[in-house]
Amino acid sequence: MGTLDSIDAAMLRILQQDGRISNAELAERVGLSPSACSRRLDLLEKSGVIGGYHAHLSPKALGYTMIAIVHISLSGQFAKTLAEFEAAVKLCPNVLVCYLMSGEYDYILRVAAKDLADYERIHRDWLSALPHVVKINSSFALREIIDRPNVGI
């Protein structure tokens, strides 16, 4: 998809705030007919600008009161090594985010745990068992300042 016009941007801002808004309401708020709005929405989805719709869950409300930021170093950065690590880390249900990084560490993960004992289990059973891991450095979030699910448009 090319550049976004002001109507596309308005639609995206509204959808980031309320992904469950009806097409009729969205169309009214951006000044389009429902059919024109639906066509634009379809284009935004097919082009990958909209990657999906989700409920934003609160880990804390679900009993995951601890967030760990985990830095991981691998034995090398060969394509096979990275692919094997990435396939395995996707299986860990407590890993919320995983980034391949430049710099000192190969990956940074955000991991949710119920408490310190639960994190110890995750570290022992999952993180330490990931292929090609040679170093794990964990830090624990003391307080969340911002967790922005939306990007500025």
Contact 81, 38 (CB under 8 A): no
| Residue showing tokens 């935004």 | 44
Please check whether residue 60 lies inside any domain of the structure: no
Q: How many angstroms separate the Cα of 9 from the Cα of each of 3, 47, 110, 150?
A: 10, 14, 30, 13
Residue 99: which region, alpha, beta or left (left: phi > 0; alpha: psi -120 to 50)? Answer: beta
Give yes or no: residues 42 and 76 share one domain: no
Tokens in use for 133? 């891991």
pLDDT in tens, 115-149: 999 999 999 999 999 999 999 999 999 999 998 87
Please check whether residue 30 lies inside any domain of the structure: yes
HSE at residue 3, side-chain half, CA atoms within 13 A, is: 2
Structurally, how many domains does the chain consist of? Answer: 2
pLDDT in tens, 84-125: 999 999 999 999 999 999 999 999 999 999 999 999 999 999
Query: Which residue segment(s) compose the domain that 40 sits in?
Result: 6-46
CATH code of residue 90: 3.30.70.920
